[in-house]
Amino acid sequence: MNPKFMRAAIRISLAKMRGNHGGPFGAIVVRRGNIVGRGWNQVTSTNDPTAHAEVSAIRDACRRLKTFQLDDCELYTSCEPCPMCLAAIYWARCRRVYYANTRQDATQIGFDDDFIYHELSRPVTRRKIPMKQLLRTEALIAFAEWKDKSDKIRY
């Protein structure tokens, strides 16, 4: 845990927000004491709802390190990750996350991730966005082929 890295994430959040690149969020990925990825919220500047600071920092780090796993990295973020970013952190396998503001702090300024946290705990049939299964048998063909694929890269 190094406060200088958190300060770097906070500086990014301020600079990019002030430059109208998106919301007040910044993140960095650190490996062996070096910053290997930087990200900031770019949702409104790129019209990409997935361009959150943590996701952007993970993408930057993976591109630079030429890997899809960051299991020897730590992520510093200016705010507790939303459900999407939290999932990305788990998929990237970051070994530790440090955050500054809480999700309750984010709620106080109009970012309400609690809605998504609640939705994820509901059965599929009770979610706000209707979901209906379709063509499972046809889709299982790809899964069967993947299971037997000898040259697959596991992740």
Q: Using a CB cutoff of 8 Å and minimum separation of 24, what contacts does 14-19 make?
A: 15/40, 16/40, 16/41, 16/42, 17/41
Closest to 111 measured CA to CA, from 89, 90, 80, 87? 80
Q: Show the tokens assigned to 151.
A: 């040259």
Q: Of 54, 74, 80, 145, which is the active-site residue?
A: 54
Label residue 73 exposed, middle or buried (CB < 10 Å: 0-12, 13-18, 19+). buried
- Residues shown for the chain: 155
Q: Which residues contact 45 (CB under 8 A, 6 or more apart)?
A: 20, 21, 22
Other C-beta atoms closer than 10 Å to the C-beta of 86 total 15
DSSP reduced 3-state for 132: coil
54 is catalytic: yes
- Would you please indicate which residues are annotated as catalytic (active-site) residues? 54
